[in-house]
Amino acid sequence: MGEASGFRRLLYRTPIHRWTIRPRGPVEVTTPLASLWPGDAARGRALVGGELVLGGRAFTLPDLGWAPADAPAEWRAALHGFDWLADLHDLGGDVGRRRARELVGLWLDRHQRWEPLAWRPDVIGRRIGAWLGHYGFFCASADDDFRDRVLASLAAQSRHLSRVLDDARPGSARIAAVKGLALAAVGLTGLEALLASALAGLDRALAEQILADGGHASRNPSVHLAVLRDLIEIRHALRLARIAPPPALTQAIEAMSAMLRYLRHGDGCLALFNGSSEEPGALIDAVIHQSESRARLAVGAPDFGIERLHAGRTAVFVDCGRGAAADGPLHAGPLSFEVSIGRERLIVNLGGAGLLPEEWSVAQRATAAHSTLTIDDTNAVRLEAGASPPAIEVRREEADGQAWLDASHDGYVDRLGASHRRRLYLSADGEDLRGEDLVTGAAGRPYQLRFHLHPRAQVSLAQNAAAALLRLPSGGGFRLRVSGGRLDLGEAIYLGRPGEMKRTQHVLVTGVLDGQTALKWALRREGKR
């Protein structure tokens, strides 16, 4: 439905609203919950010192305030969500526990009254999940007054959340809100009646967001991972309360776990499409373990739209989807691809992890930030709000261990009168990847074909700039040959992990389209150094 109306915003600020959501009696924990996910002790140590890192961006918390005034809104939303309690929990000891109590106490002092950001439905949902999940760590051994304040606040936030659940933003934010309400309903006295609303909201969200192949509608692997974590937490809480999880929840976890495995490179981390991060391999392992899924690795993703070719030690991922239905703006990377060899990444998209500065949040969505073909330095997808993603056609075949992929998109048709088709072939041993990029139309316009390289890969031109030699840290190498066009090397920035901007290079092929252009290229393994 969207944000609360102006009238309701005024109502939420009144004593009447605060009176209607306050608990009617003592609140107790009926079902002790525990966080399922690892934290980061190094971040916890920094937080004890006053610095909080969220989405890769660090800010110093004010001594007497709660949120830094210069922090962006989504950073402050993550602060109010309290997922960072896991970092203090991982740090452990009295130091981490005292810091957690201090920050929760400051929040109780300053944010008990409704305000748009701190009381946004998804933020409340994350905060409830964090406070209940880490209750035993920071609250169980606290004095009675502190415990009573925390529990009373949890009850009030949960009652408010039950009223505004349908106001949650579409996509993963809605599932975060549902999670908070479900955990409160099974974890606290007097809130049992809220479970029906939570499960009804969950049922609607699953129907809207989980695609037939098990992918999330955002088409963002990081969002997919976050949603799966929330669903596993809901199931875990229901089981502890001896409530049978709904079949739709069980089925979604099973299908999403299989898709999560599918989206991993050989290093155990995620492919970079539609704004995703690599994500920590240990976290992904934990999510897969907690999913309890026995489903096999997905064999394709026709709805999620990321095709995966695998042979030998080589994995190739190609974006063949129509954009995202929710959870952020469109990315202009149709037919972009990534390649990893064993546990090493070779060809990548530049990524867009974490909370990026404004200038980078747009640049990382551009076609030029992806390993694909750009025409006339124009994005293949309109990036403005409300733009429609391009239509994509895809066909794949496999035989005797070999794989073929044939895909095309019409993102340039309306503006430049051109269509882009990409054909890929991967040999059975994974040591020969061949591609062909065909462009119909746009005669006389320049093109740019990019192969972005992972920062740990090395590159040099060979054969009088007719080929590029790509080297991996292990010493393994590949020769990239391209027929037609001028071959050069260029500088780029890799944004695969939150807070990290690493310099890297790309192989750039440039030329002029002739109305029916075919660019053929081959990436073949060379002997080890």
Residue linked to tokens 């920050």: 103
The predicted pLDDT at position 529 comes to 41
What are the tokens at 455?
Answer: 């920062």
Q: What tens digit of pLDDT does each residue of 406-446 get?
A: 999 999 999 999 999 999 999 999 999 999 999 999 999 99
Helix (H) or strand (E) holding 158: helix 144-164
CA-based angle 345:349:354, to the nearest 5? 100
Tell me if 178 is assigned to some domain.
no
Q: Are 520 and 452 in contact (CB under 8 A)?
A: no
The predicted pLDDT at position 250 comes to 97
Coil, strand, or helix at residue 512? strand
Structural domain boundaries enclosing 432: 306-526
**In whole numbers, what is the pLDDT of the chain averaged over residues?**
93
Tell me if 331 is assigned to some domain.
yes
**Which residues are 491's β-sheet partners?**
505
Number of domains in the chain: 1
Q: What tens digit of pLDDT does each residue of 265-299 get?
A: 999 999 999 999 999 999 999 999 999 998 888 77
Q: What tens digit of pLDDT does each residue of 157-205 get?
A: 999 999 999 999 999 999 999 999 999 999 999 999 999 999 999 999 9
Q: Give yes or no for residue 392 having a pLDDT over 50.
A: yes
Q: How far apart are CA 51 and CA 45, in angstroms?
A: 9
Higher pLDDT, 480 or 325: 480
Q: Are 177 and 166 in contact (CB under 8 A)?
A: no
Rounded alpha-carbon distances, angstroms, from residue 242 to 36, 236, 409, 411: 18, 10, 49, 51
Q: Give yes or no for residue 361 having a pLDDT over 80.
A: no
Coil, strand, or helix at residue 330? coil
Helix (H) or strand (E) holding 315: strand 314-319
The predicted pLDDT at position 1 comes to 43
Tell me if 334 is assigned to some domain.
yes
Q: What tens digit of pLDDT does each residue of 435-456 get?
A: 999 999 999 999 999 999 999 9
Which pTM was predicted?
A: 0.95
Residue linked to tokens 């080890």: 528
Q: Are 319 and 306 in contact (CB under 8 A)?
A: yes
Residue linked to tokens 């306050």: 22
Q: How far apart are CA 278 and CA 221, in angstroms?
A: 9
- Range 290-294, long-range pairs (CB < 8 A, 24+ positions): 290/36, 290/232, 290/236, 291/228, 291/232, 291/253, 291/254, 291/256, 291/257, 291/260, 292/253, 293/253, 293/254, 293/257, 293/258
Tell me if 186 is assigned to some domain.
no
Residue linked to tokens 């053929």: 520
Q: Are 498 and 43 in contact (CB under 8 A)?
A: no
Amino acid identity of residue 350, one-letter, is L
Tell me if 230 is assigned to some domain.
no
Quote the percentage of the chain above a pLDDT of 90.
Answer: 81
CATH for 473: 2.70.98.70
The predicted pLDDT at position 183 comes to 98
**Which residues are 424's β-sheet partners?**
405, 435
The predicted pLDDT at position 15 comes to 79
Tell me if 314 is assigned to some domain.
yes
Q: How far apart are CA 178 and CA 200, in angstroms?
A: 9
Query: What's CA 57's distance to the chain center, in Å?
Result: 16
Average pLDDT for 316-331:
83
**Which residues are 151's β-sheet partners?**
none
Average pLDDT for 66-90:
94
Q: How far apart are CA 218 and CA 118, in angstroms?
A: 24
Q: Are 54 and 75 in contact (CB under 8 A)?
A: yes
The predicted pLDDT at position 353 comes to 65
Q: What tens digit of pLDDT does each residue of 47-66 get?
A: 999 999 998 889 999 876 78
Tell me if 136 is assigned to some domain.
no
What angle do the packed helices 41-48 and 93-110 form, to 10 degrees? Answer: 60
Helix, strand, coil % over all residues of the chain, rounded to 5: 35, 25, 40
Q: Is 140 buried (19+), middle (13-18) or exposed (0-12) by CB count in 10 A?
A: exposed
What are the tokens at 97?
Answer: 């526990």
CA atoms within 13 A on the CB side of 472: 19
Q: What is the DSSP string of 286-307?
A: HHHHHHT--PPPPS--TTT-EE
Average pLDDT for 220-240:
97
CA atoms within 13 A on the CB side of 245: 20
The predicted pLDDT at position 3 comes to 57
**Which residues are 521's β-sheet partners?**
435, 482
Q: What letter does residue 495 receive in the DSSP assignment?
A: -
Q: Are 529 and 471 in contact (CB under 8 A)?
A: yes
The predicted pLDDT at position 17 comes to 78
Q: What letter does residue 335 receive in the DSSP assignment?
A: T
Coil, strand, or helix at residue 224? helix
Amino acid identity of residue 405, one-letter, is L
Q: Which of 92, 82, 86, 123 is nearest to 286 (CA)?
A: 86
Q: What tens digit of pLDDT does each residue of 2-49 get?
A: 556 666 777 787 878 787 888 888 899 999 999 999 999 999 999 999
Q: Which of 166, 226, 178 is nearest to 206 (CA)?
A: 178
Quote the percentage of the chain above a pLDDT of 70.
Answer: 97
What are the tokens at 235?
Answer: 């199931």
